[in-house]
Amino acid sequence: MDDSLDDGEGATIELTRPREIRWLSAARSHVGRVRKINEDNFMERGEIGLWAVADGVGGERAGDRASALVVEALNRVGAPQTAAGFLAEVRDNLQAVNRLLRLESAAGDDGRVIASTVVTLLAFGQHFACAWAGDSRLYLCRNRRLQQITRDHSEVQELVDAGLLTPEQARTHPRANVVTRAVGAEDMLTLEMVQDQIRIGDLFLLCSDGLTKMIEDEEIAALLALRPIEAAAAQLIQTTLERGAPDNVTVVLVEAVAAEDG
Ligand SMILES: [Mn+2]
């Protein structure tokens, strides 16, 4: 094999050429058991390495329009040439939606904010980036361990950070739905960002708060072990519905597999 080197002492050193990654994804969104319309939106673009969940706020059809505009803007992102260019295009497109929503809100006569959370996952080569605003989350399940990559931009998260609430209390707090950042919430959108390496076998979960308010992390981790990932996505939604699903709920699962595996 020309992928290996002989070290001269009989042992073989594998060249650390990174393995090609192929992406599998599965997504589900449900209006839930209480709301009349689904204000969540999502997108899967495995061919360019971009996935997103957006959760609209505003009511009376403003929220679903806001989250739809976020997804439309991300659908306009072209095939990336560089990691930096990819990220810049995602940010610029989201900033453009932010400006549009600010104008619409200012033009309305009720002063109502029309906004949407957004959580994005970008994959480029062997790295991923996550840019987000609000309380839609990205989790990474690696070696069966689930870690929350994002940090909620919400009132209750600030209280948790200050040591005034436990995460469990935050989940059921009366103001648990109040986000402190969103696309359309302020004149300048501030996205938070995390970047790291991808490993073969990584399973990402993007989700709206309709999931995480109803299912604890340990249980999410257990359901993410289901295969195929379509079954895991379906079971996450099903479990939320069984618990009353007061909010819309959306999940996008994204798994990195080796390109040569089938
Ligand atoms: Mn929600």
Q: For 214-259, how does the pLDDT look when each residue is reduced to its tens digit (9 = 90+)?
A: 999 999 999 999 999 999 999 999 999 999 999 999 999 999 999 8
**Cis ω on the peptide bond leading into residue 167 (within 30° of 0)?**
no
**Domain total in the chain:** 1
Three-class DSSP category at 146: strand
3-state secondary structure 195-224: EEECCCCCEEEEECHHHHCCCCHHHHHHHC
Which has more pLDDT, 235 or 108?
235
Residues 6+ apart with CB under 8 A from 242: none
CA of 9 to the centre of ligand 1 (A): 60
Residue 114 DSSP class: -
Contact 23, 47 (CB under 8 A): no
Mean pLDDT value of segment 160-180 = 92
Buried b (16+ CB within 10 A) or exposed e, 171-196: bebeebeebbbbbbbeeebebeeeee
Flag whether 177 is in a domain: yes
Largest CA distance in the chain: 79
pLDDT tens column, 41-94: 999 999 999 999 999 987 667 899 999 999 999 999 999 999 999 999 999 999
Position 8 pLDDT exceeds 60: no
Flag whether 10 is in a domain: no
Q: What is the pLDDT of residue 3?
A: 44
* Neighbour count for residue 44 (Cβ, 10 Å): 16
CA of 173 to the centre of ligand 1 (A): 14
CA of 23 to the centre of ligand 1 (A): 26
Helices (H), 108-195: 155-161, 167-172
Domain hosting 221: range is: 19-258
Flag whether 6 is in a domain: no
Contact 140, 123 (CB under 8 A): no
Q: What is the pLDDT of residue 151?
A: 97
Flag whether 39 is in a domain: yes
Q: pTM for the complete prediction? A: 0.92
Give residue 96's pLDDT band: very low, low, confident or very high (50, 70, 90).
very high
CA of 190 to the centre of ligand 1 (A): 20
Flag whether 245 is in a domain: yes
Cα dihedral sign, 49-31-67-131 = negative
Q: What is the pLDDT of residue 261?
A: 60
Flag whether 157 is in a domain: yes
CA of 55 to the centre of ligand 1 (A): 6
Question: What is the percent of the chain with per-residue pLDDT over 70, rounded to a whole number?
Answer: 92
Mean pLDDT value of segment 143-156 = 96
Flag whether 225 is in a domain: yes
The CATH number of whichever domain residue 176 belongs to comes to 3.60.40.10
Flag whether 9 is in a domain: no
CA of 31 to the centre of ligand 1 (A): 10
Measured CA to CA, the distance from residue 138 to residue 205 in angstroms comes to: 6
